[in-house]
Amino acid sequence: MELKEYFENVHGTGVLSTADSNGRVDSAIYSRPHVMDDDTIAFVMRERLTHHNLQSNPGAAYLFIEDGGGYKGVRLFLTKIREEKDSELADELKRRYLSPEEDRAKGPKYVVYFRVDKQLPLIGSGE
């Protein structure tokens, strides 16, 4: 199954892991990625630790655990390739509704794009 179809049809919990320039790792809960037409994936993020880490270290890993019990899902190994700040696309892609005031109070939004370097199942080597 292609990633676009997978993430449109499967629900679960995602964890995005990043590291700063000194290798200190952080993990944060993130929604399903948006799979773009050019096969990159994108996340909408705020100015928090994950976004900060990506400024000095473009590598990331995304772990997605499918709902329904068991250990089904995917692991994606990613490289940040670009980002956009406060674009209309960020407003279109967001999945959570906030009033304009609440949205502004949370700070700027970024659409951060990644190349998928490797895809593996949640468990095992994929062989």
The full set of domains in the chain, from first to last, is 3-121 (2.30.110.10)
- Which pLDDT value is given to residue 97? 65
- Which pLDDT value is given to residue 96? 59
Q: Which residues of the chain have pLDDT under 50?
A: none
pTM of the model: 0.88
* Cα distance between residue 117 and residue 121, in whole Å: 14
- Which pLDDT value is given to residue 75? 97
C-alpha distances (whole Å) from 71 to each of 32, 64, 67, 77, 108 are 17, 10, 9, 18, 35
